[in-house]
Amino acid sequence: MPELPDLEAIKAVLNSKIAGVKIVRVEMMQPLVIRQPDLKEFEAVCTGNRFIDVNRRGKFLLFNLESKHILAMHFMLTGRLQYCGTRENRKPKTCFIFHLEDGKQLRYFDSKLMGKIYLVEKGRFYTIPRWNEMGPDALDDDMTLDVFRSRIKPYSGQIKNVLLNDTFLTGIGNAYADEILFEAGIYPFWPGTSLSHEEVGALYNAMRSVLIKAVDTVSNRMRDDITTEVRDFLKVHRRGGKPCPACGGPISQVQANRRITSFCRNCQKA
């Protein structure tokens, strides 16, 4: 699943490529991922429209269109974008293609067709399910340590699940939750309410540090290939059995709640 650092890098690439560019045709192959509006309206609004810029909120990429519509994309587990020329091979399960006036194409592909694409009028984000329930973005300037402390207080579930909860804050997925907890030295299955004042501070600092560094790393490594998933620099996520970069002990990897959790039992003691 693309997470905050991935989407920040993709956003930057797309802003350099498609800002000001017109969509001349929409080619639809797998309409299942278009959640709203209906297909006829989606194609009618997009055709002839022009991209203004690309923004991000949490795990959504937000494409501002000249018509004052917003194209909101949530990629879920397997959704991805491909920006390329017409001769580039299409990825399996390409769902739709925006044919652009400069001869390039912006393609959305999704092997499990789980993505959620919404086209809404500006100011009508509330029509997107659960949009108004989302917490602030993990890297919002307003997300200070004091705000973080205040927001985390009501959450009594396992701390990893708290980080993944979009009503607490948004943008963090499974991979970076593991990395943040490792950086903070916090056991992922502790209840959120059990964290000390110092541990909450360490968690906040780790969140900021890990995400900011990851945005820089992913951006530098991705360059213009927005289909690339850059994860090989992560310290613990999906590195079960390999040596911990801090202590040298084996990294543990368990499956719980249908997701893999990777951590170091020495550095993140229960």
What is the number of other CB atoms lying within 10 angstroms of the CB of residue 195?
A: 19
| Cα dihedral 125, 131, 135, 140 sign | negative
Residue 104 is a catalytic residue: no
Residue 259 is a catalytic residue: yes
* Nearest CA-CA partner of 204 in 266, 115, 144, 127: 144
Helix H or strand E segment including 107: strand 104-110
80 phi, psi to nearest 5 deg: -150, 160
Q: Name the catalytic one among 11, 57, 59, 80.
A: 59
Residue 191 is a catalytic residue: no
Count CA within 13 A, CB hemisphere, residue 149: 11
Helix H or strand E segment including 81: strand 79-85
Could you say which DSSP state residue 270 is in? -
Residue 25 is a catalytic residue: no
Q: Name the catalytic one among 3, 8, 179, 183.
A: 3
Judge whether 59 and 7 are in contact, CB under 8 Å.
yes
Interatomic CA distance for residues 8 and 3, integer angstroms: 9
Q: Name the catalytic one among 35, 50, 213, 259.
A: 259
Instruction: Enter the tokens of residue 29.
Output: 């192959």
Q: Name the catalytic one among 2, 5, 136, 188.
A: 2
Which residues have a catalytic role annotated?
2-3, 59, 259
